[in-house]
Amino acid sequence: MKSTLIAFVLFFISFLAFSQSDYQDVVYLKDGSIIRGIIIEQVPNKSIKLKTSEGNIFVYKVEDIEKMTKEENPNSNKTKTNNSNQMDTGYSGRVELGYGFGTGDFGFDNVKFNFINSYRVNNYFSIGLGIGARYYSDFEAVYVPVFLDIRSRFLTGKVSPYAALGLGYTVNASNDFYGIGTLINPQIGVSILNSSSSDFNIGLGYDIQRLKDFDNAFTGRTASFNALSLNLGISF
């Protein structure tokens, strides 16, 4: 019964080995030896065949096995990424807080907040959708932008410069969500890794908020609320 149970466990672990490349089989023998690799064959109640990362193949009898475990593979892509101070791929959320200092004839100071859902393609590039809020105390209004966020981290390592670009459209939440106009928000700064899935950023941005219903009589062009902004953010 014990041998049958061991054989079943060996078969199950062998199956998982090919579906989870971040892990490897580890066989502990009764003589104290430890062998790491992938189980490529098993004979119920008799033996297993294991292939190591160097390509060597070993056969062990079931009665010689003390126990088996599944452990993280130090050669996997995930482990390499974590050890080399790079960002993992996949979903990433980001929260940003900032303050905008109004510039130009139509510039007004504002407090800003962004929440961004993005997909990190690799350590260097991510793309996502964000929603935010801008509070203008001068006329007590809250603007809500919805925007595409494109972001690039230029270097591997714990600290790297980054650049981001937000492109979207803004509505006035204080006036029945009336459409205000397009938003353009370039940003540059420094990204500091907290872990392979999280970073802290500090940056300078320039917010260009178009006002579609306000024509500048002097230039004949649509006016903008412009602001130079200081931004702090964290991803998770």
Q: What percent of the chain shows pLDDT beyond 70?
A: 82
Same-domain check for residues 40 and 67: yes
Examine residue 84 and state whether it is found in any structural domain, yes or no: no
pLDDT value for 43: 86
Same-domain check for residues 66 and 138: no
Examine residue 134 and state whether it is found in any structural domain, yes or no: yes
Instruction: State pLDDT tens for residues 135-151.
Output: 999 889 999 999 999 99
Confidence of residue 164 (pLDDT cuts 50, 70, 90): very high
Confidence of residue 21 (pLDDT cuts 50, 70, 90): low
Examine residue 41 and state whether it is found in any structural domain, yes or no: yes
Q: What are phi and psi of 16, to 5 degrees?
A: -65, -30
Range of the domain at 178: 90-235
Q: Give the domain-ending residue among 75, 101, 134.
A: 75
Long-range contacts of 49-54 (CB under 8 A, 24+ apart): 50/25, 53/24
> Who has greater pLDDT, 205 or 43?
205
Same-domain check for residues 120 and 203: yes
Q: What mean pLDDT is predicted for residues 173-182?
A: 89
Please give the Cα distance from 68 to 158 (Å, whole number): 36
β pairing state of 178-195 and 159-172 = antiparallel
Examine residue 118 and state whether it is found in any structural domain, yes or no: yes
Same-domain check for residues 117 and 45: no
Q: Give the domain-ending residue among 75, 105, 125.
A: 75
Q: Give the domain-ending residue among 11, 41, 75.
A: 75
Q: Are 99 and 109 in contact (CB under 8 A)?
A: yes
Same-domain check for residues 30 and 125: no
Same-domain check for residues 228 and 133: yes
- Residue 226 bridge partners (DSSP): 103, 208
Instruction: State pLDDT tens for residues 40-99.
Output: 888 888 899 988 888 889 999 989 999 888 887 766 555 444 445 778 889 999 999 999
Domain count along the chain: 2
CATH number at residue 184: 2.40.160.20
The DSSP secondary structure of the chain, one letter per residue, reads -HHHHHHHHHHHHHHHHHH-TTEEEEEEETTS-EEEEEEEEEETTTEEEEE-TTS-EEEEEGGGEEEEEEEE-TTSHHHHHHHTT-PPSEEEEEEEEEEEEEESTT---EEEEEEEEEEE-SSSEEEEEEEEEEEETTTTEEEEEEEEEEEEE--SSSEEEEEEEEEEEEEETTTTTEEEEEEEEEEEEEEEEEETTEEEEEEEEEEEEEEEEEE-TTTSSEEEEEEEEEEEEEE-
Same-domain check for residues 103 and 34: no
Examine residue 85 and state whether it is found in any structural domain, yes or no: no
CATH number at residue 21: 2.30.30.100
